Structure 1
Amino acid sequence: MDPAAEDAPAVNPVPETPADLLALATRHGLNLTEESVEFVDFGLDYQVALAADGAGQRWVLRVPRRASVVETMAAEAAVLNLVGAHLQVAVPDWRIRSGELIAYPAVPGIAGMTLQDGEPHWTVDPTSADYARRFGALLAQLHSIDAERARTAGVEVRTPQQVRQQWREDIEKVTTHFQVNPKRTDQWRHWLSEDAYWPQRTVMTHGEIYPGHVLVDESGAITGVIDWTTARVDDPARDLVFSYALGGEEVFAAAVEAYADSGGQPTEHLLEHCRLLWSAGAVGYGLYALETGEQAHHEAAAAQLAADPDGGDPA
């Protein structure tokens, strides 16, 4: 099992049955029991499953859904090597990495959110001030990783100017291909034009650190963080925004207070920046729909972008 195996575009369809998945794992030297297989179709980029080997060790298996995902594996591996040596919580330790499979021993803990029959099931309360404080302290630790150390490790680094410019380009691309509610475009123009919203420094970020990717123990303590596909040095708000989006302003304030107490450096207009950043999340989905070319995603992104950001009828 060589975690540094050469990446190549995935050409096989994702496994549809436990037997298919076991055959794939066996080809990579990992022998699992069929009765232990549990599919967790949670991510847009990977099909995810859990299974145990003969000794009872639980494994996570990630099967890329398309070739473009395979191209990001090396970058994610570099991130894991960096953050694994820095954080006090666990991250995935890849034992297998190929163009058709990533596998690693399960990170300890239970995901803060899972999907059951398509509906979210919460292990943690995202409106809890206690969880917010734990979350803020974790982010302070992650964001303290030196940007130059990240660059040396092979992690993508964006300057504050590059972050802002990338948003300009992404918004322009999405508004070119989709009909976007004018209220959204007005908000985004205001956001991009106001210097006070934008960070003067960028930090090591996860990018999708919502409860589905945060593992906790029975006491609610954070034990691990998974799925580092979108991690890079970027705007610290891209991590903090999840506390605002899921918990509201009071919970966000608790997270930011813990963040600052643990060494984080919140900016003056962080709340308003996070409000607008969350609104711009529809841009990311539009880009994803364009990348995949899948009609279902295109239609869903179009509906989201056309919707009134304040909850009214689409334009």
Structure 2
Amino acid sequence: MGGSNEWDAEWEVTVDLAQELINSQFPQLASKTVQKLGYGWDNTVFKVGAEYVFRFPRRRVAIQSLTIEGKILPKLKDYLSIAFSIPLFWGEGTSRYPSPFLGYPYLHGEFPIGLTDEQRALSAITLARFLKKLHDFPVKIAQENRVRQDHRNLTDIAMRKAKMQAFLSKLALHLNEEEHRAISDYLEHLSMDRVRQRYVLLHGDLHFKNMLVDEIGRVSGIIDWGDIHLGHPACDLNVVYSFLPPHARSDFFKEYGDADEETKVLARLIAVYIPILIWMQAMDENDERLVAEAKANIFRALAD
């Protein structure tokens, strides 16, 4: 199958198919129920019993990412300070399903949707320590495990700005005058075309759909590492703007280490860009809850 949107699946994974693949390759899990949790651009996710979660690629482009993820994530266990998805089960493609798939321990928590600024601020130091350790991971080890280098060309601000202007025209009917002006003014005053490339190990897709929080709203888990790559730290630092309220950002940088101006410019750009994509997909799927959260992320990122 497939469609006209970037997030459309090339193949779907049903609960029955997931159960068949898991049971045939991991018979020790055969007694456990399989429940669909949801899907992103690249993977469909299923909970298996109360203990595990399995991710099945739904697009060909995700296969290489999943393979790299399976190799590098176990090597991060001594580096990271927030719980994350370490693969336990490596599934293989079959005549019924064309891709490998991975199983992980199930991480408890909720997506950070509808949090107050006070709840978000609780995670400033937590996120800073996590990203500092991740970005300090030895690049050589990542390269030895074939982690890709900036495959999305994220340092090209001019290209991403042009895409955002096109997105804005599509979203215009869903914005009031003040909201539209805030985004268009931001893009109009964005004069930097590109930043100097740097290479650190990145999660690569850090946003509210790939984060979990505990009962008080503090970040407790990071999931979906399919876009892990070597690239500019601003890619992950977008959460300083999209997730944290303005008054908590200085606390983050005190712990993480200060960032230069061009890093902050790129981080803010990505903090607006990613939620716009989430917003468009959520509108396509009539998910008003995600639409509201994505919009909140955008305008939080634009706030000083």
State the TM bucket, normalised to the shorter chain. 0.5 to 0.7
Change over 3 Å in CA distance of 1:127–1:199 after alignment to 2: farther
Which residue pairs with 1:152 in the alignment? 144
SS at 1:280's partner residue? Answer: helix
- Long gaps (5+) in structure 1: 1-9, 115-119, 290-294
Change over 3 Å in CA distance of 1:173–1:239 after alignment to 2: closer
Which residue pairs with 1:113 in the alignment? 111
- Long gaps (5+) in structure 2: 1-8, 93-97, 173-179
Which residue pairs with 2:252 in the alignment? 255
Which residue pairs with 2:267 in the alignment? 274
Change over 3 Å in CA distance of 1:285–1:178 after alignment to 2: same
Which residue pairs with 1:39 in the alignment? 36
* In structure 1, C-alpha distance between the alignment counterparts of 2:59 and 2:224, rounded to whole Å: 17
* In structure 2, C-alpha distance between the alignment counterparts of 1:214 and 1:149, rounded to whole Å: 25
CA deviation map 1:19-73 (0-9, x unaligned): 4431121232345357633221142221111112xxxx72211122222222422
Which residue pairs with 1:135 in the alignment? 127
Alignment of 1:1-315 (within 5 A): 13-15=12-14, 17=15, 19-32=16-29, 36-52=33-49, 58-88=51-81, 89-98=83-92, 99-107=98-106, 109-113=107-111, 120=113, 127-158=119-150, 163-165=154-156, 167-172=157-162, 179=169, 187-188=186-187, 190-191=189-190, 193=192, 198=195, 201-215=198-212, 224-260=221-257, 265-268=258-261, 271-281=264-274, 296=284
**Which residue identity lines up with residue 102 of structure 1 in the other structure?**
F
SS at 2:29's partner residue? Answer: coil
Contact 2:148 2:230 in 1 (8 A): yes
Change over 3 Å in CA distance of 1:237–1:58 after alignment to 2: same
**Which residue identity lines up with residue 111 of structure 1 in the other structure?**
G
* In structure 1, C-alpha distance between the alignment counterparts of 2:109 and 2:57, rounded to whole Å: 21
SS at 1:113's partner residue? Answer: coil
What TM-score do you get using the length of structure 2 for normalisation?
A: 0.67
CA deviation map 1:121-171 (0-9, x unaligned): 76x987443322111111111111133332232112249xx6423x44455
* In structure 2, C-alpha distance between the alignment counterparts of 1:187 and 1:217, rounded to whole Å: 33
SS at 1:164's partner residue? Answer: coil
Change over 3 Å in CA distance of 1:221–1:277 after alignment to 2: closer
Change over 3 Å in CA distance of 1:82–1:242 after alignment to 2: same
> Across the two proteins, how many residue pairs are aligned to each other?
269
Contact 1:125 1:131 in 2 (8 A): no
Identity %: 19
